[in-house]
Amino acid sequence: MLLALLLSLAMPALAQSPAPPATPADCLKAARDFTSRRQKEMAPLTLEKMNQITSEKNAQEKTCAAAFDAKTLTPSGLVSLAQVHGDMGDAVGAAALIDAVKRHPGATTADIAGADLLQITTVLREPKGDERNARLEKMVDALDALGPAAFDQQFAAHASMNSYYRADDIDAGIIKHSTWLINASRAFTPAQRQTTGMTIASAHVNMAEAWAGQGMTDTALAVLRDGKAKWGDINPRPGMNIAEMYFQPEIERLELVGLPGAAIVAPRWFNGPASKELPMPGHVTLLEFTAHWCGPCRESYPGVNRLRAKYAPQGFRVVLSTQLYGYFGAERNLPPEDEVARDKGYFAEHELSDVPVAIGNKVNARVVNGKVEYDPAKDPNDVAYRVGGIPQIQLIDKQGRIRLIMVGYDDANEARLAKMIETLLNEK
């Protein structure tokens, strides 16, 4: 009787125990479900809370992964287990499991392709650099060599590489992987077009921005107009139109090349005009839209300073345009005067204390019915120059005409900018 009572009390507790994972993929699902649940429980989130959730999630994945013996898993199971190790930050363990897939006598092309793709995404987490990028390109080439049976993985790999190169503003990589994606998309079915539309639109835009940054505006516009004609009808979800969201803003931006550049206006300036309005004619001008939180913007400053040092005596100038954001670094809810003071120190730190800097008002943005609304209104300089991403650099000639628009920056841009600045300085 006593034994029956004890068993009856224990049964509810046993029923509530989580079921052991049947496959490594269950570990991944459990980790994602756990992260989602904890984020809701701990809202509003901070960096400290996110780090805590990640630590808890990694510990859970480590325990879950330990339930499997790699020697008994199928190749697809090894790929999933490698994903678990990669997700919890164990790059060495993930690499060993990926290698095990490729050596497994029963591995199919799909298994090897999955391992190759996982290897690429794992290596993309490493610190960026030329050596790492060269390894990645060899991995993508090996994946491509698997042929049509690995197409889904190939597409994902080229999309990931394209996104990375766009984020790091490496034109050669952008053009290479955008070209692959665009060429592949020509044979897509209607269903494939719908699911991949945003990726292919991004490939067109990324390629166009790469060409535009090299001064090939007509080529860039041709890429955008072709993309809009072939992909502009895709609607990823209600209220979202790819033509309006991706293509038209880029086309309108590049169509400014050759037109007069608008004067830069702002309620507050460093080294600015008393009128608070700076016209463009009269100098060869590099106008850069920037922000204190923008990493690629910071990467542009040393090159911009070298250009200033070389060409300022000949009439070249640099003008920066930014806005208030209500924060600086870890500081939040900053009053405007405090953020302006932080900005002053920021630009001085980057040896730009003598450059005219326009500082616009804080603008709040929100998405309503798939469209962005601005409160109180979008910054007038952003409107005039169709700013969509920063750094956005314009080269403007002595007559005040826009001659180049470059979105993003990497070190290769400096030589191109120098060559064009010399051309503009020599014009009458």
User: Is residue 265 helix, strand or coil?
Assistant: strand
Is the Cβ–Cβ distance between 83 and 28 less than 8 Å?
Answer: yes
Whether 343 contacts 327, CB under 8 Å: no
Q: Helices marked H in 145-238 — which ranges? A: 151-168, 171-185, 190-213, 217-231
Distance CA 113, CA 389 (A): 34
User: Architecture of domain 264-426 in CATH?
Assistant: 3-Layer(aba) Sandwich (3.40)
Q: pLDDT tens, position by position, for the chain (428 residues)?
A: 444 444 444 444 444 445 677 899 999 999 999 999 999 999 888 888 899 999 999 999 999 999 999 999 999 999 899 989 989 888 899 999 999 998 999 999 999 999 999 999 999 989 999 999 999 999 999 999 999 999 999 999 999 999 999 999 999 999 999 999 999 999 999 999 999 999 999 999 999 999 999 999 999 999 999 999 999 998 877 767 889 888 999 999 999 999 999 999 999 999 999 999 999 999 999 999 999 999 999 999 999 999 999 999 999 999 999 999 999 998 999 999 999 999 999 999 999 999 999 999 999 988 777 677 888 999 999 999 999 899 999 999 999 999 999 999 988 899 999 999 999 999 98
The answer to whether 287 and 317 are in contact (CB under 8 A) is no
Please give the Cα distance from 220 to 214 (Å, whole number): 10
Q: If DSSP codes are grouped into helix, strand and coil, which group holds residue 349?
A: helix
Tell me the C-alpha distance between 356 and 317, whole Å: 9
Distance CA(32)–CA(53), nearest Å, equals 11
State if pTM tops 0.95.
Answer: no
Domain boundaries of the chain, sorted by first residue: 22-127, 178-255, 264-426
Contact between residue 75 and residue 107 where contact means Cβ atoms under 8 Å apart: yes
